[in-house]
Chain A
Amino acid sequence: MRLFKKSVNLDIALTHLLSKKKQTFVAMMGVTFGISMFITMISFMTGVNEFMMELTLDGSPHVKIYHPIENKTVAMDSFAASARMTVLHHPKPKNELPKLKDGHIILEEISSLPEVSGALSQVSSQVFYNNGPVKFPGMVVGTDILKENELYNLTEKMIEGNITDLLTYQDGILMGLGLAKKLGASVGDRVSLTTPEGQTFFFRVMGIFAFGMGAIDDSRSYASISTVQKLLQVDPSYITDIHIKMKDYNEAKNLGVRLEESYGYKAEDWETANEAVLVGEIIRNTMTYVVSITMLIVAGFGIYNIMNMNIINKMRDIAILKATGFEGSDVSKIFLYQSMIIGCLGGILGLLLGFIFSSGINQVPFPQNDFINIDTFPVNFKPFHYTLGIVFGVVTTLFAGWFPSRKAAKVDPVEIIRG
């Protein structure tokens, strides 16, 4: 009871709120709804973003080293010493293979770097897949399938067959789901491939995989590294790509730059390779924040209106409080407390409701899909978002209550009492 003096303003504020339960409830619901939608939207959107990111990162290396083929001509070199003016028309590039020289040594060196969690070498080539007379362009990747599994969790992505089957059969191939559909091939079928040099080989489909990304599933198949080397008629030291997975994928860009400098080959990090995905994420995040904050501001205007009305209705009470010795600041506190209480209670309720809503979305089954390995919609539950929600809610109501309460503080009691 010693706190009586300090709490008298709060006491009056509470009485006002409780005497108009319906109005209080409506004002509170505004905040509750705004914050619950904020939580729901942001949890869902960031959940989707994170899922997309995982999907992208899952199927692609953090850094990929390869040898880009440039349109380089050596024809001009022959005339360099000549004093005559030479015009070179329509030069052709020299024959250059996309080979990483000393690829095995590079791989060993990279594998021993502390920030790298795993690396593998591949021989990849463009090929045509033949389905009778129809040819589909695609890729064949020769790889150490066990290592590939370590980096990309290939086992999880197998729809049919087993990755170890590739080890038992020399001319076996693992095929992307989309590609298999195009070819009408299923496990056990033989399919034919034509290399860019025109050689045609037959492979037996040992398994079918799906990464959930059309770019991979519609064109890629895996075979053993020696099989692809044989297909391309190259020696066993021939490799075209090195894939690197890192402990912290945010470091990829730095590592890429370093590797490019030390080996002279192109080192492409995942951010550069997936720019479109990242841009999409930025757009989605911006949208989410803009919509959520708009909702909170609308709720704030609701409170502003209600508090304004409230103060107009309570002019006589304000006058009487001031006449009996309440200062302007006491009166403004009374009304500020009211909007703060509305904001805090509405906000906490909003967090709760937002949690319930997002849990609900998390339970909704994702439409069955061969490509994407997910049961329900992805939703994030991050304390940060909840903190942000309550802070935003309270700050908005503080502002919404601030202006009307200042008005209340300035009421001239004489004017009201004399009428």
Chain B
Amino acid sequence: MSTLALKANHITKSFHDPVTFEVLKDISFEIEKSKFYSIIGKSGCGKSTLLYILSTMDTDYQGTLELNGKVVTGQSQNELARFRNEHLGFVFQFHFLLPEFSVLKNIMLPAMRLGKYSGSEIEDRAYAKLKLVDMAEHALKPASKLSGGQQQRVAIARALINDPSIIMGDEPTGNLDQNNSRSIVDIFMKLAHENGQTIITVTHDLDIAAQSDNVIEMMDGKIISMT
């Protein structure tokens, strides 16, 4: 079994509107399992674009992408959706919970989609994930009634519900204060080192980068350093 969680081969992406602009230039790198990676770089360097390609949501690129030793480039949207459902978790900058649903239901939905566990098991697991992010007492509140930091924690719990091997974050702490962002980084560290899950997160925050196991620095569509 390989220890690689992700392998990118010669990934190139261009935007064509309004003028053709190469945002990612022939990027190749590897990411190991059970590590916490940060991708940093100036605005517009292509780090978010890279993350969305790694996340399989953006399929408009050249090059190949392997996740968990499996080439995902060229798979159909439906296959990718199933893959994301089972193997990938997401945390976005703007928490993105479904406002009509309760906190608990928000977390349960991806698991209900996967259909691996029964309804009561899913509920138990969702409670366990909420405890992990310290939000169990808010389980039955509507998602729209939570503060930003709370919503972000719920979003992390949702990303964890199907025990994905890779968790990706797009500025997951970008909207949060120091305390909240520190506790979220702590959660990520715990997930990487105790649960063996791989964390890849795009961030502006150099403190977070300093705490992570590896830092990928980008500039003008290229990786300039990887430590």
Residues of B within 8 A of A317 (CB): 98-99
B115 touching A325, Cβ below 8 Å: no
For A5, give its contact among B57, B97, B112 (CB under 8 Å).
Answer: B112
Nearest-neighbor residue (CB-CB) of A325 within chain B: B85
Among B55, B105, B110: residue with most chain A CB under 10 A: B110
- Are A320 and B98 interface neighbours, CB within 8 A? yes
Give the contact-size bracket for chain A.
20 to 34
A330 at the interface (CB under 8 A from B): yes
A-B contact count (CB 8 A): 83
Q: List, in ascending order, chain B residues with CB within 8 A of A418's CB.
A: 48, 52
Q: Could you tell me the distance in whole angstroms from the C-beta of A257 to the nearest C-beta in chain B? A: 65
A284 at the interface (CB under 8 A from B): no
Q: Any chain A CB within 8 A of the CB of B119? A: yes
Verify if A309 is at the interface (C-beta below 8 Å from B).
Answer: no
Residue in chain B with minimal CB distance to A4:
B119
Cα–Cα distance between A398 and B78 once the two chains are bound (Å): 24
Q: A324-B84, A326-B81 are in contact. Are A413 and B118 (CB under 8 A)?
A: no
Q: Mark out the residues of chain B between 30 and 49 whose CB falls within 8 Å of any chain A CB in the assembled complex.
A: 48
Smallest CB–CB gap between B49 and chain A, Å?
8
A67 interfacial contact with B, CB 8 Å: no
Q: Report whether A2 and B57 are in contact in the complex, using a CB–CB cutoff of 8 Å.
A: no
B129 within 8 A of A: no
Q: Is A96 part of the contact surface with B, judged by Cβ < 8 Å?
A: no
Most A-side CB within 10 Å, residue of B48, B86, B90: B90
Q: Which of B58, B84, B98, B112 is A8 in contact with, Cβ under 8 Å?
A: B112
Q: In the complex where A1-B120, A16-B100, A19-B100 touch, is A328 in contact with B84 (Cβ < 8 A)? A: no
Q: Which residues of A contact B140 (CB under 8 A)?
A: none
Partner of A316, one of B96, B109, B113: B96
Q: Does A12 sit within 8 A of B, measured CB to CB?
A: yes
**Measured between C-beta atoms, what is the minimum distance from B78 to chain A in Å?**
5
> Among A324, A326, A329, A414, which residue has the most Cβ atoms of chain B within 10 A?
A324
A4/B115 contact (C-beta < 8 A), A325-B85, A325-B86, A326-B81 known: yes
Sampled A-B contacts (7; CB under 8 Å) = A11-B112, A320-B97, A322-B57, A323-B57, A324-B84, A325-B84, A325-B86
Q: Which 3 A-B pairs have the closest CB atoms?
A: A325-B85, A5-B115, A1-B119
Binding site for B on A (CB under 8 A): 1-2, 4-5, 8, 11-12, 15-16, 19, 316-317, 319-330, 413-414, 417-418
12 new A-B contacts, CB < 8 A, other than A321-B109, A323-B92, are A1-B119, A5-B115, A8-B109, A8-B112, A15-B101, A317-B98, A320-B97, A320-B98, A324-B85, A325-B81, A327-B78, A417-B96
